[in-house]
Amino acid sequence: QVQLVQSGGGLVQAGDSLRLSCAASGDTLGAYIMGWFRESQRKEREFVATITREGYTTIYADSVKGRFTISRDNARNTAWLDMNALKPEDTAVYYCAASTLWTGRSPSDYANWGQGTQVTVSA
């Protein structure tokens, strides 16, 4: 089973950028489809982005499309979420997740999760 450890996040102003990292251990990252989700007080855990094993295909939630970029480097066993033009409504705890199934949009499609990292965007 893969273990995921996240880093990045913090407090930024609207319009700023942040990069979240997700480092894998215990297994090869290339065996997994990777996803990012977020959870806030206003919303249950929701889909943000996902990327196929080789990184050829990415899928985004409409709310982040054009602003966020998911990427991965299997040789470095790391995935990232680059967030640009951040908005206050992006404030949430962000989670990376790994799946052996498909590029799903449901949290139930992912069996392995990072610990979560807080992103706070002030107006």
* Each residue's pLDDT tens digit, 6-62: 999 999 999 999 999 999 999 999 999 999 999 999 899 999 999 999 999 999 999
CA–CA separation, 48 and 65 (whole Å): 9
CA–CA separation, 7 and 75 (whole Å): 18
For residue 40, give both structure tokens: 């806030």
pLDDT of residue 39: 98
CA–CA separation, 58 and 79 (whole Å): 12
CA–CA separation, 10 and 121 (whole Å): 8
pLDDT of residue 103: 82
pLDDT in tens, 67-116: 999 999 999 999 999 999 999 999 999 999 999 988 889 999 999 999 99
The helix (H) or strand (E) run that includes residue 51 is strand 46-51
Q: In 3D, which of 48, 4, 18, 15 has the Cα closest to residue 118?
A: 18
pLDDT of residue 102: 85
